[in-house]
Chain A
Amino acid sequence: MTKIKCALIGSGNIGTDLIYKLRRSEYLEPVWMVGIDPASEGLKRAAAMGLKTTAEGVDGLLPHVLADHIQIAFDATSAYVHPENSAKLTALGVMMIDLTPAAIGPLCVPPVNLKQHTAKLEMNVNMISCAGQATIPMVAAVSRVQSVDYAEIVATLASKSIGPGTRANLDEFTYTTSDALVRVGGARRGKALAVINPAEPPMIMRNTVYCLTDDAPDEAKITESVLAMISDVQKYVPGYKLVNGPVFDGNRVAIFLEVAGLGDYLPTYAGNLDIMTAAATRTAEMFAEELLNGTLKLPQPQESLA
């Protein structure tokens, strides 16, 4: 069966884990890995896994986009370089899945709003952050039952699972995730907290979701909604698990989650890596399926830039 050919930009933890995810996909095929350092381990790994590589950034990929039929690109670089990467590639008719906190396109959490994005042709969708992917489904599960004034999430990540990009840009992570609790989760106000824990052996990603409801929470309905959403997320992240809750204290709803990864590139503790790459893959697959069956068509590349 024909697959949609993909490019991965950024050869760090996320880019490398995506190779594994895409290779298992029925609809997607990883073809190019783009880096900026010829000596990087990530590029060597990608080459060893059979991908074409360039160390010249996105500019090194552009001449090959049309010849190699690249239709979807995943950007796992940084919020600072993503806008330029996106502009160059979408001009060539390539759809962007943005895994940086740049968030220039609409925010996507697959079980919450992916269908809205595939219904219209979005050329750039943003995956928010690992914490956003892990917690927004829960905020949405509460807010679809009754209005949520304030959502707060605490994501604790194993130190070994956090790459230098995230470490150097924690504020961007905080802003993007906080914003998405409102825009996608449906709360009126949102706040995201991140903690990095260096314990050995590394701890599995934990997430706590607090919602303050406007009126007294309907405990039965919220519990039912949360459990249903957990199983929706488990369809693409099998290690997504409710540890405790929902517990209710006045208008406060608390949900305690654990996210174990599949152990593709990093071991299972790195659920944060997995939920991000799995969500990005699922998003790309939804678009790919529609591209393959013809319900969605990407724009023709602009000749002047090709």
Chain B
Amino acid sequence: MSFESLKGRKILVHDMCLRDGMHAKREQISLAQMVKVATALDHAGVPMIQVTHGAGLGGNSIQHGFAPHTNEAYISAVAEAVTHTKISVLLIPGLGTMKELQSAHECGARSVHVATHCTEADTAQQHIAYGRKLGMDTSGFLMMAHLNSPEGLAAQARLMESYGAQTIFVTDSAGYMLPDDVHARVSALRAVLKPETEIGFHGHHNMGMGIANSLTAIAAGASRIDASVAGLGAGAGNTPLEVFVAVCERLGIETGCALFPLMDIAEEIILPMMDHMVRINREALTLGYAGVYSTFLLHAKRAEARYGVPARDILVELGRKKMIGGQEDMIEDTALTMAKERGIKVSHAA
């Protein structure tokens, strides 16, 4: 595959540090850190950044962890700090609601990813319609896209488009897809969606494919790329934004972002924020290899510490049981069941 033909294409780069990165930080990014990162990204010309709890609006919960501040507080603080960058939020129906979308909008959010599992687009109808009603730039976000066929995914994309979504994202939540998988899915969407409907790609770097998959998506017709400075995100992180921008410069793809400042943000702001090195470690690679939701990583490690079942074994079992995003409760449940089966004594378990 040659990417030479992409010269001159204009791409909207969308940073995920302050949303997907919340997962990697166990939801513990402070208000001051949010403002610092957002201000720096704004100065570096990043046109859009996502700001919320890792699980999006409504994410503060026992299931997904509690951030030190409300989504409203984060969004308001960032909205005050930035001048050009548009703020987006994530909304997963079943967790977040339209009430929360309304208050995010009041705080300054102007774009929304309405996210469903790749086969359940019809749970997003009211939220997509409401995003449009609020005048927000509204995307449908089809998660775990490797679990649906290209044709099946295209049909789901059409549903979201019919509800009013202006962009449809192919979302590789597990970091499982290889470039051919991405090409097939983005092409299938491009073939059925209206010409004015944009296509986006959201990658995870669990198999080291973040950049290659994003370029492949662009070649197949995508015009929006989710990425994250220094890759701060769930699993092995998102497509590293500064690397992606550097590759785009070499290929002549226009992002409007300033490369050197982004490199500095990665090195000087994001890297020191990391509690652990976001990299393709054993468990993150297991996610990509087995096709498991990237956010499960740290939950599985916590279950390992508590119940004595290796995180990799838990992740493989979750993949086998076809668990999807949002089922974080099943990590502890699966660890408890596996501990019982292996005769591991679990204190406090009835």
Asked if residues A174 and B61 are in contact (CB atoms below 8 Å), the reply is no
Asked if residues A167 and B123 are in contact (CB atoms below 8 Å), the reply is yes
Q: Supply 16 further A-B pairs (C-beta < 8 A) apart from A159-B119, A195-B94, A195-B327.
A: A152-B63, A154-B326, A156-B326, A159-B120, A169-B126, A170-B126, A171-B99, A175-B97, A193-B95, A196-B120, A197-B324, A210-B63, A212-B62, A244-B349, A247-B350, A252-B62
Chain A residues within an 8 Å CB radius of B321: 199, 203
Asked if residues B94 and A244 are in contact (CB atoms below 8 Å), the reply is no
Q: A174-B94, A195-B327, A198-B120 are in contact. Are A208 and B333 (CB under 8 A)?
A: yes
Chain A residues at the B interface, C-beta cutoff of 8 Å: 150, 152, 154, 156, 159, 164, 167-171, 174-175, 191, 193-199, 203, 206, 208, 210, 212, 219, 223, 243-249, 252, 254, 256
A-B contact pairs, 12 of them (CB 8 A): A159-B120, A167-B125, A193-B326, A195-B324, A196-B94, A197-B322, A198-B324, A199-B322, A210-B63, A243-B333, A245-B349, A249-B348
Asked if residues B327 and A156 are in contact (CB atoms below 8 Å), the reply is yes
Chain B residues within an 8 Å CB radius of A247: 332, 336, 346, 348-350
Chain B residues 318-336 with CB under 8 Å of chain A are 321-327, 329-330, 332-333, 336
Chain B residues within an 8 Å CB radius of A154: 63, 326-327, 329
Which of B93, B122, B326, B333 sits near A256, CB closer than 8 Å?
Answer: B333
Q: A170-B94, A252-B62 are in contact. Are A244 and B120 (CB under 8 A)?
A: no
User: How many chain B residues touch A (Cβ–Cβ < 8 Å)?
Assistant: 36
Give the CA-CA distance A254 to B332 in the complex, in Å: 10
Asked if residues B97 and A219 are in contact (CB atoms below 8 Å), the reply is no
Q: What mask results when residues 179 to 211 of chain B are scored 1 for a CB within 8 Å of chain A, else 0? A: 000000000000000000000000000000000
Closest 9 CB pairs between A and B? Answer: A199-B322, A208-B329, A194-B94, A195-B326, A244-B336, A198-B119, A210-B62, A256-B333, A171-B97
Asked if residues A245 and B122 are in contact (CB atoms below 8 Å), the reply is no
B269 at the interface (CB under 8 A from A): no
**Which of A170, A243, A254 is most buried by chain B, counting CB atoms within 10 A of its CB?**
A170
B77 at the interface (CB under 8 A from A): no
B117 at the interface (CB under 8 A from A): yes
Give the CA-CA distance A206 to B93 in the complex, in Å: 18
Give the CA-CA distance A152 to B63 in the complex, in Å: 8
Chain B residues 299-335 with CB under 8 Å of chain A are 306, 321-327, 329-330, 332-333
Give the CA-CA distance A164 to B122 in the complex, in Å: 8
Give the CA-CA distance A198 to B122 in the complex, in Å: 13
Give the CA-CA distance A256 to B332 in the complex, in Å: 9
Asked if residues A170 and B349 are in contact (CB atoms below 8 Å), the reply is no
Q: What mask results when residues 97 to 114 of chain B are scored 1 for a CB within 8 Å of chain A, else 0? A: 111000000000000000
Chain B residues within an 8 Å CB radius of A150: 62
Asked if residues B350 and A223 are in contact (CB atoms below 8 Å), the reply is yes
A169 closest partner in B (C-beta): B126
Asked if residues B63 and A193 are in contact (CB atoms below 8 Å), the reply is yes
Asked if residues A197 and B117 are in contact (CB atoms below 8 Å), the reply is yes
**Which of B123, B324, B350 is most buried by chain A, counting CB atoms within 10 A of its CB?**
B350
Q: Report the minimal beta-carbon distance from B257 to chain A, rounded to whole angstroms.
A: 35
Give the CA-CA distance A194 to B324 in the complex, in Å: 12
Chain A residues within an 8 Å CB radius of B127: 171
Chain B residues within an 8 Å CB radius of A208: 63, 329-330, 333
Give the CA-CA distance A203 to B330 in the complex, in Å: 12
Q: Report the minimal beta-carbon distance from A64 to chain B, rounded to whole angstroms.
A: 35
B281 at the interface (CB under 8 A from A): no
B64 closest partner in A (C-beta): A193
Give the CA-CA distance A170 to B98 in the complex, in Å: 10
B30 at the interface (CB under 8 A from A): no
Chain B residues within an 8 Å CB radius of A203: 321-322
Chain A residues within an 8 Å CB radius of B324: 195, 197-199
Chain B residues 125-151 with CB under 8 Å of chain A are 125-127, 147
Asked if residues A168 and B126 are in contact (CB atoms below 8 Å), the reply is yes
B125 closest partner in A (C-beta): A168
Chain B residues within an 8 Å CB radius of A199: 321-322, 324
Chain B residues within an 8 Å CB radius of A159: 119-120
Give the CA-CA distance A306 to B222 in the complex, in Å: 61
Give the CA-CA distance A124 to B119 in the complex, in Å: 36
Asked if residues A256 and B329 are in contact (CB atoms below 8 Å), the reply is yes
Chain A residues within an 8 Å CB radius of B348: 219, 247-249
A226 closest partner in B (C-beta): B350
Chain B residues within an 8 Å CB radius of A246: 350
A197 closest partner in B (C-beta): B324
Asked if residues B125 and A193 are in contact (CB atoms below 8 Å), the reply is no
Q: Report the minimal beta-carbon distance from A77 to chain B, rounded to whole angstroms.
A: 17
Q: Report the minimal beta-carbon distance from B5 to chain A, rounded to whole angstroms.
A: 36
Q: A167-B123, A169-B126 are in contact. Are A245 and B94 (CB under 8 A)?
A: no
